[in-house]
């Protein structure tokens, strides 16, 4: 039996979620502790069987909420010029779904990679991005592309729309705690809520969005200088603007306060918001442990310590 595996890691947006949709720059990190693994095998018969935490059964009966995944498999097989028959596709993921950690992009990337390996074909970056972008449109409507770029990158990225990606210099290691609120956020709805407000009061929204872009630039400088106070100060300001845009919520605000009170330099939501995760910048791993404990006490479903190395 032939078996092939495709993998993709999670992502963390440090700064620039939402404003990136309007063309402002953002900084994101690969979050390699959690990932999606797709295993492709050949099986008897002529059906494609899906095995995933959310659905098990034939591809044709895939539920509507997994439409993007179904479409991604069909499109990838088309590009591979393969008949869609006799395959077992298992999707396993340690990335919690709908928490702003890029699970949908990671699933699509791992799927495309797994299928290309299975059919022994070379996968170019542009092929991968085209297939994943299509899948992401099902999940998010008008994705900026930052999720798929980060989930397929080994290094931190500076990202602007039209897939402009630059290297981000990290002058010293930075430590973070990521906390999952345990609540599913709806990125699609959060992006739409800002769009709706923008249509009514463009100046107000534009102001926050432009400021978030400026903060991203200052965070980039702080990262290069290894200056955690500067980075932290800007991250805290970003949280204020995300709250003004209406994508934070009382639960996330509570976790942000908890992290700061427990000694974090800064804390903000990460990803689409309205549920999902926060990240907290801490001076060192010991403090990180203290902050993580406090976040669990305050009701976080789980936490991760994350260090971005000098690069
Ligand atoms: C989602 O991870 C990030 C958002 O900025 C949406 C996007 O960029 O597509 C909220």
Tell me which residues have their CB closer than 6 angstroms to ligand 1. 13, 17-18, 20-21, 100, 140, 143-144, 146-147, 187, 191, 271-272
What is the total residue count of the chain? Answer: 311
Residue in 182, 170, 175, 180 with CA at minimum distance from that of residue 263? 175
* pLDDT at 138 (0 to 100): 86
pLDDT value for 94: 97
Q: How far apart are CA 267 and CA 258, in angstroms?
A: 9
Neighbouring CB atoms inside 10 A of 61's CB total: 9
Do 191 and 64 share a structural domain?
A: no
User: 222 — phi, psi (to 5°)?
Assistant: -65, -40
Q: What is the pLDDT of residue 84?
A: 64
Of 127, 143, 164, the one marking the end of a domain is 164
Nearest ligand 1 atom, CA 16: 5
**Same domain (yes/no): 156, 285:** no
Instruction: Provide the 8-state DSSP code for 154.
Output: S
21 and 141 together in one domain: yes
Among 99, 103, 135, 143, say which to mutate for ligand 1: greatest number of ligand atoms within 8 Å of CB. Answer: 143
Neighbours of 176 (CB within 10 A): 25
Distance from Cα 81 to the centre of ligand 1, integer Å: 32
99 and 190, same domain (yes or no): no
What is the number of structural domains in the chain?
2
* Closest-lying ligand 1 atom to the alpha carbon of residue 136: 9
Q: Cα(93) to centroid of ligand 1, in Å?
A: 20
135 and 212 part of one domain: no
Residue pair 8/36 in contact by the 8 Å Cβ criterion: yes
Task: Kindly report the CATH number assigned to the domain that includes residue 123.
Answer: 3.30.230.10
My answer on whether 67 and 125 are in the same domain is: yes
Q: 191 CA to middle of ligand 1, Å?
A: 7
pLDDT of residue 140: 79
End position of a domain, from candidates 164, 182, 212: 164
Same domain? For 20 and 77 the reply is yes
Model-level pTM greater than 0.90? Answer: yes
Bin 132: left if φ > 0, else alpha if -120 < ψ < 50, else beta. alpha
Substitution site in 12, 96, 242, 271 for ligand 1 pocket (most atoms within 8 Å of beta carbon): 271
The residue range of the domain holding 208 is 170-308
CA 47 to CA 60: how far, in whole Å? Answer: 9
Q: Look at ligand 1, atom 10, and give the residue with the nearest C-alpha.
A: 272
Whether residues 106 and 65 fall in one domain: yes
Atom of ligand 1 nearest to the CA of 140: 9
Q: Name the 3-class secondary structure at 6.
A: strand
Do 147 and 183 fall into the same domain? no
Residue 70 pLDDT: 95
- What CATH number has the domain bearing residue 206? 3.30.70.890
- 261-274 per-position pLDDT tens digit: 999 999 999 999 99
Could you tell me if 146 and 213 lie in one domain? no
Note whether 281 and 175 are same-domain residues.
yes
Flag residues of the chain having pLDDT under 70: 84
Task: Compute the distance between CA of residue 236 and CA of residue 198 in angstroms, rounded to an integer.
Answer: 23
The label of the residue with tokens 């534009």 reads 206
Domain boundary among the residues 107, 129, 164 is at 164
User: Same domain, yes or no, for 135 and 34?
Assistant: yes
């Amino acid at each position: 039996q032939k078996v092939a595996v495709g993998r993709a890691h999670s992502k963390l947006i440090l700064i620039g979620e939402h404003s990136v949709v309007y063309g402002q720059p953002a900084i994101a990190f690969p979050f390699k502790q959690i990932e999606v693994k797709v295993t492709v095998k050949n099986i008897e018969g002529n059906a494609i069987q899906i095995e995933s935490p959310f659905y098990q059964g034939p591809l044709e009966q895939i539920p509507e909420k997994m439409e993007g995944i179904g479409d991604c498999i069909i499109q990838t097989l088309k590009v591979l010029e393969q008949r869609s028959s006799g395959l077992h596709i298992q999707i396993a993921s340690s990335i919690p779904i709908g928490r702003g950690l890029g699970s949908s992009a990671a699933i699509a990337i791992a799927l495309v990679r797994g299928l290309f390996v299975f059919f022994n074909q070379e996968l170019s970056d542009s092929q991968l991005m085209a297939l994943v972008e299509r899948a992401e449109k099902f999940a998010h409507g008008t994705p900026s592309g930052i999720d798929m770029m980060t989930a397929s990158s080994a290094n931190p990225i500076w990202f602007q729309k039209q897939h402009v990606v630059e290297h981000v210099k990290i002058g010293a290691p930075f430590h973070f705690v990521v906390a999952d609120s345990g609540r599913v956020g709806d990125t699609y709805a959060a992006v739409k809520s800002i769009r709706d407000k923008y249509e009514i009061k463009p100046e107000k929204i534009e102001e926050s969005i432009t400021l978030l872009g400026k903060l991203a630039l200052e965070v980039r400088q702080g990262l290069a200088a290894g200056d955690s106070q500067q980075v932290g100060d800007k991250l805290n300001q970003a949280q204020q603007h995300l709250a003004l845009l209406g994508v934070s919520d009382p639960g996330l605000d509570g976790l942000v306060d908890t992290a700061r009170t427990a000694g974090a330099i800064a804390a903000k939501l990460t990803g689409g918001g309205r549920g999902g995760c926060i990240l907290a910048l801490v001076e060192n791993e010991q403090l990180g442990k203290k902050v993580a404990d406090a976040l669990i006490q305050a009701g976080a479903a789980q936490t991760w310590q994350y260090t971005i190395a000098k690069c």
